[in-house]
């Protein structure tokens, strides 16, 4: 177990960008689900 908080992730180069990707995907999922709900309402 190596404490290496500054190691960059293997994609997107910074952790903040990777976090933004995860949150962006969540937002996209909510929007898609909301559109689906509206389409079938």
Partner 1 sequence: MTALDWLVLVGSVAFIAIYGTVRNARVSTAQDYLKGGDLRWPTIGLSIMATQASAVTFLSVPGQAYEDGMRFVQFYFGLPLAMVIISAVFVPMYYRMRVFTAYEYLEQRFDVRVRVLAALLFMMGRGLAAGISLYAPAIILSALLGWSLNAMNVLIGAVVILYTVTGGAKAVSQTQKQQMVVILAGILVAAVVIAANLPVSVADATTLAGALGRMEIIDLSLDPNSRYTLWSGLTGGLFLSLSYFGTDQSQVQRYIGGRSLTESRLGLLFNGLFKIPMQALILFIGVLMFAFYLFEKPPVFFNEPTLEAVRQTEHADELAALEARWDEAFEARRAQAEALARADTPEARAGLQAAQAEMDGLRDEAKALIRQAVPTAELQDGDYIFLSFVLAWMPPGLVGLLVAVILMAAMSSTSSELSALGSTSVVDLYKRLVRPDADEAHTVRMSKLFTVSWGLVAVAFATFAALLDNLIEAVNILGSIFYGVILGIFLLALFFRRVRATPALLAAIVGQVAVVGLFLASDIGFLWFNLIGCALVVGLALCFQAVGGALRQLKGDTP
Name the residues that contact partner 1, by CB under 8 A.
1-5, 7, 9-10, 15, 18-19, 22-23, 25-26, 29-30, 33-34, 36-37, 39-41
Provide, rounded to whole angstroms, the least separation between the CB of residue 36 and partner 1: 6
Provide, rounded to whole angstroms, the least separation between the CB of residue 33 and partner 1: 4
Provide, rounded to whole angstroms, the least separation between the CB of residue 15 and partner 1: 7
Q: Which of 31, 27, 26, 6 is nearest to 16 (CA)?
A: 6
Enter the tokens of residue 32.
Answer: 């898609």
Please tell me the total number of residues recorded for the chain in this structure. Answer: 41
3-state secondary structure of 35: helix
């Amino acid at each position: 177990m190596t404490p290496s908080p500054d190691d960059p992730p293997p994609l997107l180069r910074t952790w903040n960008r990777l976090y933004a990707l995860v949150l962006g995907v969540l937002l996209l999922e909510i929007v898609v689900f909301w559109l689906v709900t509206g389409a079938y309402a």
